[in-house]
Amino acid sequence: MANSIQKETKIVCLEIIISGFVQGVGFRPFVFRLANQLQIKGCVSNNTGQVTITAEGEKETLDLFCDRLLSHAPVNAQPIIQSVNEVSLVSYEGFSILQSNELKESDIHILPDLPVCEQCIEELFNKNNRRYLYPFINCTQCGPRNSIITSLPYDRKNTSMQGFKLCSECESEYLAVSDRRFHAEPIACDTCGPVLNFVDDNKNIIGNIDALEACIDSLHKGNIVAVKGIGGYHLMCDASSSEAIDLLRKRKKRPDKPFAVLMASSLIQEYVDVSEQELFLLKENSRPIVLLKDNNSEDLADNLAPGINRLGIMLPGTPLQHLLCHYFKKPLVATSANISGEPIITTNDEAVKKLSRLCDAYLHNNRDIVRPADDPVMLHNNFGKQILRTGRGISPTEITLPFKLEKPVLAVGGHIKNTIALAWNDRLVISAHNGDLSSLRGYQTFQQAIKDLQQLYQVKAEVVICDAHPEYASTRWAVESKLPTVKIYHHHAHASSLVFEKPDNTHWLIFSWDGIGLGTDGTLWGGETFLGSAGNWKRIASFKTFKLPGGEKTSRESWRIAASLNWQSDFEINNERINQAKSDKLKIMWQKNINSPESSAAGRLFSAAASLLGLVDIESFEGHGPMLLEALAETTQADAITLPISKEGDVNRIDWRPLVMMLNDKSLSKAVRARCFHETLAQCICDVSTQYSNKHKNLTIGLSGGVFQNQLLASLIKQKIEQHDLRIVIPSLIPVNDGGLCAGQIIEYHYQ
């Protein structure tokens, strides 16, 4: 008789619901292969935002299966096991992938666009591969996602690839379990997929390799080419040609704003100083534009970023960009193809209509872009990564809230650098960058984003949250929406946006510094310090107010602010660069309070400082003066001066007038004065922080608002604060500027 009796094996059937980022990442093929490897029978299907698995096998094997669904998931997947329930046995013969289903209740997660993977790049440049030089190569681990999805489940029929019928070879790969393109929805090749189309005044070339060669030839001739990418068109030209760049500046009416540069990774260290952390940032999945120190290479044109010591560098992220970099062999200007202030252009017809005066040729393709996505912009400083603009590869940004909402809400953000946010339950989704809402197209893109976000996630907002400023286009839309509307003050939203970074912190001291925003007292704030927590902010400090003669004009004409600060400081120093009659007229406005609103905006102080130093009097783009000021300040060292602080009601007023005296002191070099300006404001924040940290224990210091895009200022603040063993935070999940307002609006709304 045997010494042991074999236990009867019990077969069970489990229904496993997986949520999270599991669509568009090859998750079903992964489940299929894992099930076959473990000899599990059943099926897997996509639902609306979820994956449903029915698995039959031994209990221990199914436990291992569930573990590996998380631990061995595809690199871009972020699976969450929503539920595991035992169900009746079906007695499956094998394991299969079923057709997708739509559920009444959805848990949708949209994956951003992914950069082309290393395996696809190898195939792209392999002469023996059938996708050799094919500019739309992709697989389950790379390629377009958010920009081509029309609806979920994520199947080819629900993308802009639906019109491209698979050839027999692509279909074979799509159906082959062992192939890495097994169920890769955007799969295509030169035979059945999208195709390039080069157009200029003399030719119309359809064909991937021929069109690419014509584009490269046009770029070598010094031409400007509008190139269609994943999220929209770029205007491209030779980054080493000052003539081509000058022509682009004249055509685009962009005399000073820096242009982003696309280059192969092998060229990076030739042109910029890059740290290990910055290199890592460049290679993130979003392939962002990263602001890097220019090393003054003579091989790059000197008019890429006039007066600014940083360049926006981007590595190729799409097959087409890899091909352009490979064959052009030099860096390329790659700036968003749009009319100044408007969103990026996405359609072939619109490109021809709106870019004909800007470019010499077009490199189109016939794959539709479902939703626009500009290039994201980031930097790395001693805080770590900072996002300056959301976009392709980041958007939609999904964040888990530290609370649950009672009803779905839509936050419509600010007026410039607009993004919107949709939130329900404990989920928050932030849109791509919509831009400035002053233009008709910017406003239309904003409206479309509102509609698109709700349709895509199948969530209908029941409350709209907006800025308190009645003249913002986003606020007007909210009021006209006929939904219940909640108004949030601009700088309260900035302050509350930091809650994402440290959700457990309830005691904050936050410096909310930016351009201007409406304050609770009806004046234009922008240099505020708040004590408290989300929904319960007390304004404890602010800059001494000053007049903005000319009102809205001061957002670009910084000489007006400089003159106002001089007059308020009892300086009668005239700006010889400004017509005397014009200056005299301005002073009358200032004296009589004609269109001269009061403001405490720190951002306006930076613009004024740039004008007082003679760097720029009329800024050609937002942040122009402050960027010049920062670049100059980084060339030297200087000590801080003391800014007096006096009580005015419940608010401590920081007196900026000693800065004006210093900036007018021509015995000091301009660089020393620029550095002193930065050192002084950093020291001011440190002094206020230490004062309140001594009174209130366990305070976390926070920085939020567009002023803190300034890398030098932020770095100096962190250095000074940490010398006192204080904790300091700056946004890293969302933009520090107005692009983060919508997220802060939702936080502030919940805690009010």
C-alpha angle 704-709-711 in degrees, rounded to nearest 5: 120
pLDDT tens-digit readout, 337-380 = 987 767 889 999 999 999 999 999 999 999 999 999 999 999 99
The confidence score (pLDDT) of residue 680 equals 98
The confidence score (pLDDT) of residue 111 equals 85
| 43: number of Cβ within 10 Å | 20
pLDDT tens-digit readout, 421-478 = 999 999 999 999 998 999 888 899 999 999 999 999 999 999 999 999 999 999 999 9
Mean pLDDT of 492-496: 97
Cα–Cα dist 235/361, whole Å: 10
pLDDT tens-digit readout, 71-125 = 999 888 889 998 999 999 988 999 998 877 665 455 788 889 999 999 999 999 9
* Residues with Cβ within 8 Å of residue 479, at least 6 apart in sequence: 466, 485
pLDDT tens-digit readout, 287-321 = 999 999 999 888 999 999 999 999 999 999 999 99
Place of tokens 């002084």: 680
Minimal CA–CA distance to 530: which of 556, 551, 499, 559? 499
* Residues with Cβ within 8 Å of residue 92, at least 6 apart in sequence: 41, 42, 43, 54, 56
Cβ–Cβ under 8 Å, residues 622 and 739: no
Q: How many CA atoms lie within 13 A of 647 on its CB side?
A: 2
As given in the structure block, the two tokens for residue 325 are 């970099």
- Which 3 state secondary structure label does DSSP give 136? coil
Alpha helices (H) in 696-752, listed in sequence order: 711-722, 741-751
When pLDDT is cut at 50, 70 and 90, the band that residue 2 belongs to is: very low
As given in the structure block, the two tokens for residue 252 are 């685009």
The confidence score (pLDDT) of residue 264 equals 97
> What is the DSSP secondary structure assignment for residue 555, as one 8-state letter?
G
> What is the DSSP secondary structure assignment for residue 649, as one 8-state letter?
T
> What is the DSSP secondary structure assignment for residue 355, as one 8-state letter?
H
The confidence score (pLDDT) of residue 3 equals 47
* Residues with Cβ within 8 Å of residue 484, at least 6 apart in sequence: 462, 463, 464
CA 738 to chain CA mean position, Å: 11
When pLDDT is cut at 50, 70 and 90, the band that residue 1 belongs to is: very low
Cα–Cα dist 390/467, whole Å: 20
Report whether pLDDT(41) > 90: yes
Strands 289-294 and 377-381: parallel
* Residues with Cβ within 8 Å of residue 621, at least 6 apart in sequence: 254, 256, 257
How far is residue 247 from each of residues 73, 181, 480, measured CA to CA in Å? Answer: 49, 43, 43
Residue 223 one-letter amino acid: N
Strands (E) across 656-734 are located at 700-704, 727-729
Mean pLDDT of 62-79: 92
Cα–Cα dist 26/37, whole Å: 17
The confidence score (pLDDT) of residue 102 equals 60
Q: Which residue has the higher pLDDT, 151 or 115?
A: 115
* Residues with Cβ within 8 Å of residue 453, at least 6 apart in sequence: 396, 420, 422, 429, 431
Report whether pLDDT(5) > 60: no
Minimal CA–CA distance to 301: which of 273, 333, 340? 333
Cβ–Cβ under 8 Å, residues 44 and 114: no
Cβ–Cβ under 8 Å, residues 456 and 151: yes
pLDDT tens-digit readout, 229-248 = 999 999 999 999 999 999 99
**Domains of the chain by start residue, with CATH:** 11-97 (3.30.70.100), 110-391 (3.90.870.30), 396-501+741-751 (3.30.420.360), 508-730 (3.30.420.40)
pLDDT tens-digit readout, 552-576 = 999 999 999 999 999 999 988 778 8
The confidence score (pLDDT) of residue 76 equals 84
Cβ–Cβ under 8 Å, residues 301 and 245: yes
pLDDT averaged over every residue in the chain = 93
When pLDDT is cut at 50, 70 and 90, the band that residue 681 belongs to is: very high
As given in the structure block, the two tokens for residue 149 are 């999805």
Cβ–Cβ under 8 Å, residues 55 and 65: yes
Cβ–Cβ under 8 Å, residues 618 and 556: yes
Mean pLDDT of 40-57: 89
The confidence score (pLDDT) of residue 342 equals 76
The confidence score (pLDDT) of residue 408 equals 97
> What is the DSSP secondary structure assignment for residue 143, as one 8-state letter?
B
Report whether pLDDT(698) > 50: yes
CA 208 to chain CA mean position, Å: 31
Report whether pLDDT(532) > 60: yes
Cα–Cα dist 258/547, whole Å: 30
When pLDDT is cut at 50, 70 and 90, the band that residue 224 belongs to is: very high
